[in-house]
Amino acid sequence: MLQVALQTATPTPVPTPVVGPEGLAAYWALIRRAVWFVAGFVAVVLVGWFAVEPLVARFVRRRNSNNPTIQEAVSRYVRLLVLVVAFFVAAGTAGYGRFIGDSALVIAAGTLAVGVAGQTVIGSIVSGLVLVVDPEFNVGNYIEWADREGTVQSITLRVTRILTPDGELVTVPNTLLTGQAITRPYGRGRRRIVEHVGVAYEADVAAALDHLTAATEAVDDIVAEPTPKAYVDDFGSDSVVLRVHYWIEDPRRRDIFAVRSAYARAAKERLEAAGITISPASKRELQGRIGVDGAADGTAGGETDGRAD
Residue 257 has pLDDT above 50, yes or no: yes
pTM: 0.49
Please choose, from the candidates 50, 111, 53, 118, the residue with its C-alpha nearest in 3D space to the C-alpha of residue 81: 53
Residue 243 has pLDDT above 90, yes or no: yes
**161 vs 172: CA distance, rounded Å:** 6
Please choose, from the candidates 52, 47, 30, 41, the residue with its C-alpha nearest in 3D space to the C-alpha of residue 93: 41
Residue 90 has pLDDT above 90, yes or no: no
Domains and CATH numbers, the chain: 29-102 (no CATH), 141-183 (2.30.30), 190-274 (3.30.70.100)
Classify the C-alpha dihedral 7-8-14-15 as positive or negative: positive
Q: What is the DSSP letter of 203?
A: S
In angstroms, the Cα distances linking 116 to 19, 113, 120, 172, 227 are 53, 5, 9, 22, 57
Note whether 284 and 227 are within 8 A (CB): no
Q: What is the pLDDT of residues 154-167, one digit of tens each?
A: 887 788 899 988 88
Q: What is the pLDDT of residues 204-241, one digit of tens each?
A: 999 999 999 999 988 888 888 888 999 999 888 888 99
What mean pLDDT is predicted for residues 79-97?
A: 80
Q: Give residue 11's pLDDT.
A: 54
**9 vs 285: CA distance, rounded Å:** 128
Q: What are phi and psi of 141, to 5 degrees?
A: -70, 145
Q: Give residue 268's pLDDT.
A: 92
- Cα within 13 Å of Cα(210), Cβ side: 7
> Length of the chain, please?
309
Note whether 115 and 85 are within 8 A (CB): no
